[in-house]
Amino acid sequence: MLYVVLLSLTGPELVTKVKEAEKNLKDYTAQMESKTYKDGKMEYKLYLHKYMRPGYIYMKVIKGPNRGGVAVYHPDKKKVRVKKGPLKLWLSPDDRRLRSPVGHRIYESHIPWFVSRLNSEAKFVSEGTLFGRKVLILEQPLDPTKNYGAVRARYWIDASTYLPLMVTDYDSGGGIVRTVKYKNLKINVGLTQEDFKI
């Protein structure tokens, strides 16, 4: 019965549900896995990731380049507080040391940012399973000039929370630009500004 109901959903109907769920998202914590591809090379990073409205972002590298480094985006200052060992400093989010190999900024990897790209052009592709959870899969056309060369994205939407658990961006040749996964996602856990101090 559930299978029949899900298959009857259209892309725009699912996007509406996702955007409603995102509006009710106050904060979350997750292990965020990022794979970025450029010039035939893949950069892998695993982060301890926290988000709180109106745009506080905490990212600590657990695995990958700059392991142990912490970056916190402060939306009021539009600056990033960075800590690596004993060193702490403020940087612009445009600083190349804070951007992915492709160019993504720290505030272009959180769930509300990914949801903001969804619109009525999205198509419901199928359903599946990810991290042991039922997911609904959407495809969304993208403007490559605003998405680092990506022309489309595929979203794996949790069928119970209607929030994305994984997003993959593709270039015009079908190659992957990047994949972001949110593992152990916990929503509305009551984060405060204290959780974004380093």
> Which of 131, 177, 187 lies closest to 154, judged by CA?
177
Q: What local confidence, expressed as pLDDT, does residue 7 receive? A: 53
Tell me if the bond preceding 141 is cis, omega within 30° of 0. no
Quickly state the pLDDT bin for 9 (edges 50, 70, 90).
confident
For residue 44, tell me if it sits in a domain. yes
Give dist(CA 15, CA 110) in Å, integer: 17
Q: Is residue 2 part of a domain?
A: no
Q: Over the chain, what is the mean pLDDT?
A: 95
Q: Does residue 105 sit within a domain?
A: yes
Report if residue 137 sits inside a domain: yes
Within 10 Å of residue 8's Cβ, how many Cβ atoms?
A: 9
| pTM for this predicted structure | 0.94
* 67 assigned to some structural domain: yes
**Is residue 42 one of the residues assigned to a domain?**
yes
Cα separation, 182 vs 164, in Å, equals 8
pLDDT tens by residue, 63-118: 999 999 999 999 999 999 999 999 999 999 999 999 999 999 999 999 999 999 99
Residue 4 lies in a domain: no
The CATH number assigned to the domain holding 121 equals: 2.50.20.10
* Number of structural domains in the chain: 1
Task: Summarize pLDDT for 154-194 with one digit per residue, the tens.
Answer: 999 999 999 999 999 999 999 999 999 999 999 999 999 99
Whether 197 is in a domain gets the answer no
Whether 4 has a pLDDT exceeding 70, the answer reads no
Beta bridge partners of 133: 130
Q: Give residue-wise pLDDT tens across range 11-37.
A: 999 999 999 999 999 999 999 999 999
Q: Which domain holds residue 125?
A: 9-190
> Above pLDDT 70, what percent of the chain?
96
